[in-house]
Chains A and B, each alone.
Chain A
Amino acid sequence: MSAPQQPIQSHILSVLVDNEPGILARVVGLFSGRGYNIESLTVAEVSDAAHLSRITVVTSGPASVIEQIKAQLGRLVPVHNVHDLTVEGPHIARELALIKVAGTGEKRVESLRIADIFRARAVDSTIESFVFELTGAPEKITAFVELMKPLGLVDVSRTGVVAISRGPKPL
Chain B
Amino acid sequence: MSTAAQAAQMPGQQMSGAEMLIKALIDQGVEVVFGYPGGAVLPIYDALFKQNAIRHILVRHEQGAVHAAEGYARSTGKPGVVLVTSGPGATNAVTGLTDALLDSIPIVCLTGQVATHLIGNDAFQECDTTGITRPCTKHNYLVKNVDDLSRIVHEGFYVATNGRPGPVVIDLPKDIQVAQGTYTAKDNIRHKTYRPRVDGEDAKIKEAVALMAAAERPVFYTGGGIINAGPRASELLREFVQLTGFPITNTLMGLGGYPATDRQFLGMLGMHGTWEANHAMHDCDVMINIGARFDDRITGRLNAFSPGSKKIHVDIDPSSHNKTVRCDLNIVGDACRVLEQMIAAWKQGGYKPNQKALDTWWQQIDQWRARDSLSYKKDAKIIKPQLAIERLYELTKNQDTFITTEVGQHQMWAAQHYKFNKPNRWMTSGGLGTMGYGLPAAIGVQLGHPGKLVVDIAGEASILMNIQELGTAAQFRLPVKVFILNNEYMGMVRQWQQLLHGGRYSQSYSESLPDFVKLAEAFHCRGLRVTDPADLDGVIKEMIAIDGPVVVDVAVDKAENCFPMVPSGAAHNEMILADDKPKDANNASVSEEGMALV
Chain A bound to chain B:
yes
Interface residues of A (CB under 8 A from B): 1-3, 18, 21-22, 25-26, 29, 33, 64, 67-68, 71-72, 74-75, 77-80
Please indicate which of the listed interface residues B131, B138, B144, B192 has the most CB atoms of chain A within 10 Å of its own CB.
B192
CB-defined contacts of A33 to chain B, threshold 8 Å: 135
A25 to B130, CA, bound (A): 10
Q: 3 shortest A-B CB distances, which residue pairs?
A: A71-B319, A2-B303, A77-B139
Residue of A nearest to B317 (CB): A75
Q: With both chains docked as a complex, state the minimum distance between the C-beta of B437 and any C-beta of chain A, in angstroms.
A: 23
A25 to B144, CA, bound (A): 18
Query: Can you report 22 residue pairs joining A to B where beta carbons are below 8 Å apart?
Result: A1-B303, A1-B305, A1-B326, A2-B302, A18-B193, A22-B130, A22-B131, A22-B134, A29-B134, A29-B135, A64-B322, A64-B326, A68-B322, A71-B319, A71-B323, A74-B319, A75-B164, A75-B319, A77-B193, A78-B193, A79-B193, A80-B193
Judge whether A21 and B142 touch: CB under 8 Å. yes
CB-defined contacts of A75 to chain B, threshold 8 Å: 163-164, 317-319
A1 to B306, CA, bound (A): 9
Q: With both chains docked as a complex, state the minimum distance between the C-beta of A117 and any C-beta of chain B, in angstroms.
A: 45
Interface residues of B (CB under 8 A from A): 130-131, 134-135, 138-140, 142, 144, 159, 163-164, 192-194, 302-303, 305, 307, 317-319, 321-323, 325-326
Judge whether B131 and A25 touch: CB under 8 Å. yes
Q: With both chains docked as a complex, state the minimum distance between the C-beta of B91 and any C-beta of chain A, in angstroms.
A: 17
Q: With both chains docked as a complex, state the minimum distance between the C-beta of B104 and any C-beta of chain A, in angstroms.
A: 12
Residue of A nearest to B139 (CB): A77
Q: With both chains docked as a complex, state the minimum distance between the C-beta of B317 and any C-beta of chain A, in angstroms.
A: 6
Residue of B nearest to A16 (CB): B193
Please indicate which of the listed interface residues A67, A77, A80 has the most CB atoms of chain B within 10 Å of its own CB.
A77
A21 to B142, CA, bound (A): 9
A29 to B134, CA, bound (A): 8
Partner of B302, one of A1, A18, A64, A67: A1
Q: With both chains docked as a complex, state the minimum distance between the C-beta of B107 and any C-beta of chain A, in angstroms.
A: 15
CB-defined contacts of B192 to chain A, threshold 8 Å: 18, 80
CB-defined contacts of A22 to chain B, threshold 8 Å: 130-131, 134, 140, 142
Residue of B nearest to A78 (CB): B193
Residue of A nearest to B325 (CB): A1
CB-defined contacts of B307 to chain A, threshold 8 Å: 1
Partner of B134, one of A1, A25, A64, A67: A25
Judge whether B323 and A68 touch: CB under 8 Å. yes
Judge whether A77 and B138 touch: CB under 8 Å. yes
Known: A18-B192, A77-B138, A77-B194. A3 touches B319 (CB 8 A): no
- Add 17 more A-B contacts to A18-B192, A79-B193 (CB < 8 A): A1-B303, A1-B305, A1-B326, A2-B302, A22-B131, A25-B134, A29-B134, A33-B135, A64-B326, A68-B322, A75-B163, A75-B317, A75-B319, A77-B138, A77-B159, A77-B193, A80-B193
Known: A2-B303, A21-B142, A26-B134. A72 touches B193 (CB 8 A): no
Q: With both chains docked as a complex, state the minimum distance between the C-beta of A19 and any C-beta of chain B, in angstroms.
A: 11
CB-defined contacts of B130 to chain A, threshold 8 Å: 22
A45 to B419, CA, bound (A): 55
A94 to B323, CA, bound (A): 32
Q: With both chains docked as a complex, state the minimum distance between the C-beta of B167 and any C-beta of chain A, in angstroms.
A: 12
CB-defined contacts of A1 to chain B, threshold 8 Å: 302-303, 305, 307, 325-326
